[in-house]
Amino acid sequence: MGAADETGITTRVLHRADWPTIETLFGANGACGGCWCMWWRVPMGGKTWEAAKGAHNRAAFKQLVESGRASGVLAFAGETPVGWCAAGPREDFPRLARSKALVRDWSQHTWSLNCLYVPARWRGRGVATALVTAAVGLARASGAVEIEAYPQAVKPGERQAAAFVWTGVPSLFEAAGFDPLHKPERGRTLYLLRLR
């Protein structure tokens, strides 16, 4: 377990034996609507995505975790899991290639930080900030030269329902040193952190 920050939250990288922790954290709905952190991993949306939600996604993500092919960081308050951030090589997330808003040149050293899950009772306590910091550290240690993030654009003072901000909000990434490559009024924005 990593050292606790000023909020008392600790973070660490995902291990192969962490499936029970993921199940506890995500709950029966797989974090949100049967996703089980598979949105960016299922290449197609529409009917393909609808068919994958729930038990299929759960089985697929369990297999990725237990085989060591899923990467990311977990947050804890004591022994209680309180957050998850998916982070890995961009090539691990084929749905990104189908998003016109997120198209850009990238390399095998580009990482994607694309999903944050913090249960409602733990929001507003610094968990997401701790997760982003830990995910950047994981990417850096793994040889990334740049990291992408795709926060939901929000207008100043606007609050979005949690279901729409599962990729984070711009201020979360700006505070971590990410710069916007484009910044629409609505929808996903493309943020980039170049590592040195």
| Domain contains 104 | yes
Share of the chain above pLDDT 70, in %: 87
- The CATH number of whichever domain residue 173 belongs to comes to 3.40.630.30
Q: How many CB atoms lie within 10 A of CB 177?
A: 14
Residues 25-31: what's their mean pLDDT? 95
Report the C-alpha gap between 188 and 5 in whole angstroms. Answer: 29
Does the structure show a pLDDT above 80 at 80? yes
Does the structure show a pLDDT above 70 at 6? no
Give the chain's mean pLDDT.
Answer: 90
The total number of structural domains in the chain stands at 1
Residues 12-29: what's their mean pLDDT? 97
Does the structure show a pLDDT above 90 at 186? no
Greatest C-alpha distance within the chain: 44
What b/e readout covers 22-42, taking b as 16+ CB neighbours within 10 angstroms?
bbebbeeebbbebbbbbbbbb
Each residue of 117-163: pLDDT tens digit? 999 999 999 999 999 999 999 999 999 999 999 998 766 666 655 55
Residues 62-81: what's their mean pLDDT? 97
Confidence category of residue 14, pLDDT binned at 50, 70, 90: very high
Each residue of 150-181: pLDDT tens digit? 998 766 666 655 555 689 888 899 999 999 98
| Domain contains 1 | no
Report the C-alpha gap between 168 and 117 in whole angstroms. Answer: 9
Nearest alpha-carbon partner for 60 in 78, 83, 44, 37: 37
| Domain contains 173 | yes
Task: Say what the pTM is.
Answer: 0.91
Confidence category of residue 61, pLDDT binned at 50, 70, 90: very high
| Domain contains 153 | yes
| Domain contains 3 | no
Higher pLDDT, 141 or 188: 141
Residues 181-189: what's their mean pLDDT? 69
45 is in which domain, residue-wise? 9-194
| Domain contains 151 | yes
Cα 109–chain centre separation: 18
